[in-house]
Amino acid sequence: MEKTAENYNEWYLDIVEKAGLSDKRYPIKGMNVWTPYGWKIMRNIDTYIREEFDKDHDEVSFPLLIPETEFKKEKDHIKGFDSEVYWVTHAGLDELDVRLVVRPTSETAMYPMFSLWVRSHQDLPLRIYQIVNTFRYETKQTRPFIRVREIHFFESHTCHDTEEDAQDQIEADIEILKSFMKKLCLPYYLLKRTDWDKFPGAHYTVGIDTVVPNLRTLQLGSIHHYRTNFSVPYDITYEDENGEHKHVHQTTFGMSERLLGAVISVHGDEKGLCLPPAIAPFQMVIIPILGKNNTVDVSAEAKKLESQLKQAGFRVKLDDRDVRPGSKYYDWEIKGVPLRLELGARDIENGVVSFARRDTGEKGAIDMKSLVPGIQLVLDDIIKNLTEKAWRFQMDAITDLKSMDDVPKDTDDAKLHVYRFGWCGCPECGHKFEDEHNIKILGTPYIPEEYDGECIVCGKKVTTPAYAARTM
């Protein structure tokens, strides 16, 4: 099926099923089974998250259940999540004295412990993270990896002695994100959310958004600056060098399995997945081309090739199934393996390995004498091509608006875009734009952009644009 804006939803579900990434038949809607191939991809993503955060964070694992008494300490937080949480009310036949929340996110689980861990300025900064499952009662139509009720989730939490040091952590998180997203070849916007759309309890929120084929945006994660909004109700204080007790300033950074949903959406095509080499379970598959009158043992040479490439550090699959090569090509194209290596008697005689790229379909041959560096060059070029193509699509999705009339009226049928326009920051103007067009304001650029215009609603002069889109 060709991937288009019109059939994106059907295409996405078709690819997830054919590639064997997830099984939705588990008897709870929105709680899907990770199948082996999909879980391998997610584990590779988790590996890069750990590599980045292990540099100056410590990994922890907090309990799944949170007492209602702790959950409700931050009033804005409970207001934001109250309709989405699962409650545990009984233990066996006994009704609990205090209801328990099944973790929707971990602030209210961690921060009572932070109040015990942080005592002195010497305990700061505190930087921890965990990779866990979170649970939210998603009432909209569920979709694998994008909108689910059990969410594979990464979250980092930090405590600092000053607001400035917490802000430095935000900047460090953005650099980590930049490095990490290169592995996934994914483009993104960094947009400071509106006050009515920020994370419950946050001072401000930076959303991480990418554009999917139907020109809606998908939020991949977010970074939050809390100031002391959580440390005050949870009494997280430290004694400074002068013996004075002060509340810590906090940040968090969260991303979810939506990263995999974005990889499928952004890089996939009519043939199936197209995986970046960094996260592909197999970076290449070897297909032996057998013939009846071969003068060399192709199967034996293919096994030697597999061993050589594995020793070089590549993730390799030798497909020696007794089926036609064409069927193998089809199967591995669906699964998005970046590079297909074909080895036949003629290749062996010529001292080469034939290859076909998944991203472009380009074919060629690599000399056996320079096999490892030759393959690495091809993989590097695949990364470059996937990244550039994705960023072009992301930036081409932006349409500038000069007036409210520039937005298509029939937004259900129109091909939407990511809209950029002047906005004065006034909530009244923001709500008017959203209500009239049924389009969400994603926010303003976290990294400032030059802009000279007027508020699209009130006409006030502005120097900062806003972005808006339909969201997934």
Q: What is the pLDDT of residues 419-454, one digit of tens each?
A: 999 999 999 999 999 999 889 999 999 999 999 999
**Any idea which residue has 């990896």 for tokens?**
145
Residue 231 tokens, joined: 């440390």
- Residue 342 gets which letter from DSSP? E
Section 197-212 average pLDDT: 96
d(CA 130, CA 232): 23
Domain extents in the chain: 8-267, 284-377, 398-469
Residue 449 tokens, joined: 């952009």
Is the pLDDT higher at 413 or at 11?
A: 11
d(CA 265, CA 181): 15
pLDDT on residue 138? 81
pLDDT on residue 407? 82
Phi, psi (5° rounding) for residue 157?
-135, 135
Band of the pLDDT at 2, cuts 50, 70, 90?
A: confident
Residue 392 tokens, joined: 């072009």
Q: What is the pLDDT of residues 107-160, one digit of tens each?
A: 999 999 999 999 999 999 999 999 999 999 987 789 999 999 999 999 999 999
**Residue among 62, 221, 48, 53 at smallest CA distance from 132:** 62
Q: What is the domain class of 284-377 according to CATH? A: alpha beta
- Residue 292 gets which letter from DSSP? T
The residues pairing with 211 across neighbouring beta strands, listed in sequence order, are 217
- Residue 140 gets which letter from DSSP? S
**Residue among 345, 260, 359 at smallest CA distance from 297:** 345
pLDDT on residue 80? 66
Cα separation of the two ends of the chain: 21
Inter-residue contact 283 to 315 (CB < 8 Å): yes
d(CA 24, CA 348): 44
Band of the pLDDT at 81, cuts 50, 70, 90?
A: confident
d(CA 99, CA 274): 45
pLDDT on residue 73? 84
pLDDT on residue 76? 67
The residues pairing with 154 across neighbouring beta strands, listed in sequence order, are 131, 255
Q: What is the pLDDT of residues 208-231, one digit of tens each?
A: 999 999 999 999 999 999 999 999
d(CA 57, CA 355): 41
Phi, psi (5° rounding) for residue 197?
-125, 5
Section 56-78 average pLDDT: 88
**Any idea which residue has 């002068």 for tokens?**
242
87-91, 185-189, 273-277, 408-412, range with the lowest pLDDT: 408-412
In this predicted structure, the answer to whether residue 413 has a pLDDT above a threshold of 60 is: no
Band of the pLDDT at 43, cuts 50, 70, 90?
A: very high
pLDDT on residue 410? 59
d(CA 5, CA 213): 5
In this predicted structure, the answer to whether residue 75 has a pLDDT above a threshold of 70 is: no
153-167, 205-219, 284-298, range with the lowest pLDDT: 284-298
Section 264-272 average pLDDT: 97
In this predicted structure, the answer to whether residue 291 has a pLDDT above a threshold of 90 is: no
pLDDT on residue 292? 75
Distance of CA 259 to the CA centre of its chain: 2
Tell me yes or no: is domain 8-267 CATH 3.30.70.1400: no
pLDDT on residue 415? 63
Q: Cα angle at 18 between 14 and 20, to 5 degrees?
A: 120
pTM recorded for the entire structure: 0.95
Task: Express as a percent the part of the chain with pLDDT over 90.
Answer: 90
Band of the pLDDT at 412, cuts 50, 70, 90?
A: low
pLDDT on residue 78? 63
Inter-residue contact 421 to 436 (CB < 8 Å): no
**Residue among 328, 260, 262 at smallest CA distance from 290:** 328
pLDDT on residue 17? 97
Ranges of beta strands (E only) in 174-315 are: 189-192, 204-211, 217-227, 237-239, 245-247, 249-256, 284-289
**Residue among 273, 9, 292, 47 at smallest CA distance from 146:** 9
Section 265-274 average pLDDT: 97
Task: Express as a percent the part of the chain with pLDDT over 70.
Answer: 97
pLDDT on residue 411? 53
Residue 196 tokens, joined: 């009515």
pLDDT on residue 414? 52
Helix (H), strand (E) at residue 81: helix 75-81
pLDDT on residue 376? 98
Phi, psi (5° rounding) for residue 139?
-95, -15
Strands 363-367 and 418-422: unpaired
d(CA 165, CA 226): 12
In this predicted structure, the answer to whether residue 295 has a pLDDT above a threshold of 80 is: no
**Any idea which residue has 């060059």 for tokens?**
377
In this predicted structure, the answer to whether residue 326 has a pLDDT above a threshold of 60 is: yes
CATH of domain 398-469: 3.30.110.30
**Residue among 18, 449, 17, 440 at smallest CA distance from 219:** 440
Average pLDDT, rounded, for the chain? 95
Band of the pLDDT at 380, cuts 50, 70, 90?
A: very high
